[in-house]
Amino acid sequence: MRFSKLYEKKLFRQLKNYRMPNEIEESSREVSPALDDNRKKKWMACMILLLVNLLNYMDRYTIVGVLSKLKPFFDMSDKQEGFLQTVFIAFYMVFAPLFGYLGDRYNRKLLMITGISIWILAVFASTFCEEGHYYAFLLCRGVVGIGEASYATIAPTVLSDLFSGVQRSRVFMIFYFAIPVGSGLGFITGSKISTATESWQWGVRFSPFIGIACLALMIFLLEEPVRGGSEGARQNEDKASLLEDIKYLLTVPTFKLTTLAATANLFAVGTMSWWTPNFIGYAYGTIERKAKIPDDERDRISTIFGIITCAGGLFGVTCGSLISRAWKNGNSFFRNRASEKADVYVCAISMFTALPFLFLAIFIAEHSVNASLILIFFAVFSMCLNWAVNVDVLMYVVVANRRATALAVQTLISHAFGDATSPYIVGVLSDWFRGDEISIAAHFFALQKALYFPSFMLVFAGAFFLAASFYVEKDRKEALFQMDAPDEWDIGNPDDMDSLINAGTHPEIEQQHQHPKQRPSFNSSIDDNNDDLEILETDDEDDEMNDDRCTIRFEETSSRQKGGADAPDARLETSSLSDEADEWDVQKRETGEEEDEVF
């Protein structure tokens, strides 16, 4: 194979800078202290955000743990009990789009610090409401929703900018452990502390003290990442209005369908989280024919339900992420069945699996409390399979500079028509079915009938997730194209050196998932200039020459230029040919003299 001198010079310059995988590995060892420091900062940020998220969900469901004590203190009906959650979610969903819009444009660390400060003050204030002042307590719970909205819409986007690929999925799995674990701890701690202190106020008041410690960690240790930095995005500036952001989101089918699915899911989850302790308590009273449920039995039920929520949710979030990752990579049971649609498939399966468990748990409660609790465990496990996976889908089908807005809009819609309204609706239905009867059995059967309605919403959730499978691949590639980011679905986070080395030796990975309009990556070829590639042509007389001969002749040439074959830098010196040698070769061609072989 004969090259022109112009192309040889360009090729040698690239070869000089090219490093083989083993050289990359050696280089990574040299800079390992810097890489280790960067990794530590990222994982520290992950742990801080996880801790705050855990605390948020603890506080949210601490109220459920002390609900039996709040009811006589504020003289509440079932409808008013459900309205506490409705007002909290209403404030939460109204302010979520505002914080989402600000989070895409301003310092996210400062916004989260502001929101958490509001949350701490509001929770403290709610514990000083006087007996019978239901609406004052209701207002405080609404303001708590403002603080949580600031955090819930911004924190996932910070993690998305710190991690990408497989690492992002793992981080979201860890981050969303907070939902089941925090909820379960909220039930347990709220109930136990209020019983130990004989005051519901201290059952609620303990969480702000932990919140102050979390606030200090965030102020001093959390750093603001570059938007889209984990994906190498080149287009991360945004001066668009909120209306333009919403118009963009309406062009992403996966976003619309997963939002509808999340809404149907939250309708069921919100209802069960709020009403299950009371429902199981009424079931116990009905079976045992009690006129009043003892306080110690209520505490026991809250503790058991908290443990079920923690364990079922922890296993559910973990298994959902692991199954999704194995399915995407074609590992384990999914060998030779790898699919980029695995995330939405897992979400759909989780909904269809949870439905029969939840239905049977409600039905069998009048016969056996223990059997109902076991079925609730499997229902919680199934419903939690999609928590981390669904957010991961949202992060990669939306461009980096609109992710906070996307999460905020999804939060607004899913809460507005999901868990903001479902506890209240079930409370209204329960009061309607019960009528004027006040017995434990009347409360149980009325609530049992009302709970069947939200459980069937899981059918719609599963259907919407399945519909999203028709669009998720296209939307992911479109988001990468708009960010001018490389398509590295299988490569993972750049600081995962093993993945990076493997990606360098398999350039077809990028081509497999490349957007039709996207420019090819440098990894896919030595030179992406098609005009230069046309210079490479084969002569018949050199067809038999192979790469080994090229290497041998190249070393011989290096040895002659340095005065010996043992010269240590011979190959490096030859990679930069002198201009005088180039001119001499050109003159020889012009005079018709035969050109010496370079290789």
- DSSP, residue by residue, 160-209: HHH--HHHHHHHHHHHTTHHHHHHHHHHHHHHHHHHHHT-HHHHHHHHHH
What pLDDT, on a 0 to 100 scale, did the predictor assign at position 151?
83
Distance CA 522, CA 514 (A): 13
Buried b or exposed e, range 497-526, using 16+ CB within 10 angstroms: bebbbebbeeeebbeebbeeebeebebeee
Mean pLDDT of 473-489: 81
What pLDDT, on a 0 to 100 scale, did the predictor assign at position 468?
95
**Confidence bin at 88 (pLDDT 50/70/90):** confident
Residue 32 pLDDT exceeds 80: no
- How far CA 415 is from CA of 90, 152, 224, 408, in Å, comes to 8, 12, 28, 10
**Confidence bin at 347 (pLDDT 50/70/90):** very high
Residue type, 215: L
Q: Which helix (H) or strand (E) holds 125?
A: helix 108-126
Distance CA 212, CA 389 (A): 30
123 is written with which tokens?
Answer: 């929770």
Structure-derived torsion over alpha carbons of residues 486, 492, 493, 494, reported in degrees to the nearest 10: -60
Higher pLDDT, 239 or 143: 143
Mean pLDDT of 499-523: 41
pTM passes above 0.85: no
What pLDDT, on a 0 to 100 scale, did the predictor assign at position 434?
86
Q: Using only C-alpha atoms, what is the Rg of the chain? A: 31
Residue 375 pLDDT exceeds 50: yes
Higher pLDDT, 575 or 411: 411
Could you please state the CATH topology (level 3) that the domain comprising 41-231+243-482 is classified under: Growth Hormone; Chain: A; (1.20.1250)
Higher pLDDT, 591 or 179: 179
What pLDDT, on a 0 to 100 scale, did the predictor assign at position 260?
96
Which pLDDT tens digit goes with each residue over 295-305?
788 878 878 88
Mean pLDDT of 450-466: 93
Mean pLDDT of 459-475: 94
Residue 146 pLDDT exceeds 70: yes
| Residue 562 burial (CB count, 10 A) | 17
Q: Which of the residue ranges 194-208, 212-226, 358-372, 528-542 would you say has the lowest mean pLDDT?
A: 528-542
Residues sharing a CB contact under 8 Å with residue 98, sequence separation 6 or more, in sequence order: 149, 408
What pLDDT, on a 0 to 100 scale, did the predictor assign at position 34?
61
Mean pLDDT of 3-16: 47
What pLDDT, on a 0 to 100 scale, did the predictor assign at position 543?
43
Percent of the chain exceeding pLDDT 90 equals 22
Domain ranges in the chain with CATH number 1.20.1250.20:
41-231+243-482
Percent of the chain exceeding pLDDT 70 equals 73
Which pLDDT tens digit goes with each residue over 202-257?
888 888 888 899 899 999 888 888 776 665 555 455 566 778 888 999 999 999 99
Mean pLDDT of 107-127: 91
Side-chain-side CA neighbours of residue 546 (13 Å): 1
- How far CA 83 is from CA of 125, 142, 276, 401, 428, in Å, comes to 19, 11, 16, 35, 10
Q: Which of the residue ranges 246-250, 268-272, 420-424, 582-586 would you say has the lowest mean pLDDT?
A: 582-586
3-state DSSP assignment of residue 489 = coil
Residues sharing a CB contact under 8 Å with residue 43, sequence separation 6 or more, in sequence order: none
What pLDDT, on a 0 to 100 scale, did the predictor assign at position 237?
52
Side-chain-side CA neighbours of residue 264 (13 Å): 24
What pLDDT, on a 0 to 100 scale, did the predictor assign at position 499?
38
- Average confidence score pLDDT of the chain: 76
Distance CA 135, CA 528 (A): 67
Q: Which of the residue ranges 22-36, 145-159, 198-212 would you say has the lowest mean pLDDT?
A: 22-36
Residue 187 pLDDT exceeds 90: no
Residue type, 291: A
Mean pLDDT of 189-198: 86
For residue 507, report the phi and psi dihedrals to the nearest 5 degrees: -65, -15
Q: Which residues pair with 537 in a beta bridge?
A: 2
Give the position of tokens 């855990």: 54
